[in-house]
Amino acid sequence: MGEKNRYSDEELKEFEDLILKKLRVAREDRDSYKKELASEENKRSLSKEDLNKLVERYINYIFKLELALLRIKKKTYGICRETGKLISKERLRSVPHATLSIDVKMCSN
């Protein structure tokens, strides 16, 4: 029997649940920073520029998580875009929006 070429529906559901939790937290954090940016009160002693950068980072992170959800729906989630092999579950649990295996990622840096 050869290597698996995709994660099972059960495994994809596990990753979907993880991503949805991370999305919820990321959206709450983004909204908190946006609210702080809009108000004059600065609880974290961050400059407006730093707050803007944080909001942008959260927007980018949320976008990547949403793309990961699309890959789950298409059943292509967890497949390295360079090698076509499965990305390890450990990597996906750490970086659920990953599109490269750790080996490929390390070689590209």
CA–CA dist 42, 69 (Å, integer): 34
Contact between 29 and 106 under an 8 Å Cβ cutoff? The reply is no
* Residue 83 is assigned to a structural domain of this protein: yes
pLDDT-based confidence at 1, cuts 50/70/90? very low
Identify the sign of the CA torsion 101, 102, 104, 109: positive
pLDDT per residue as tens digits for the range 23-77? 999 999 999 999 888 886 666 677 888 889 999 999 999 999 999 999 999 999 9
* Residue 3 is assigned to a structural domain of this protein: no
* Residue 1 is assigned to a structural domain of this protein: no
Give the structural domain span for 71. Answer: 9-108
What is the tally of structural domains in the chain? 1
pTM: 0.87
CATH number at residue 18: 1.20.120.910
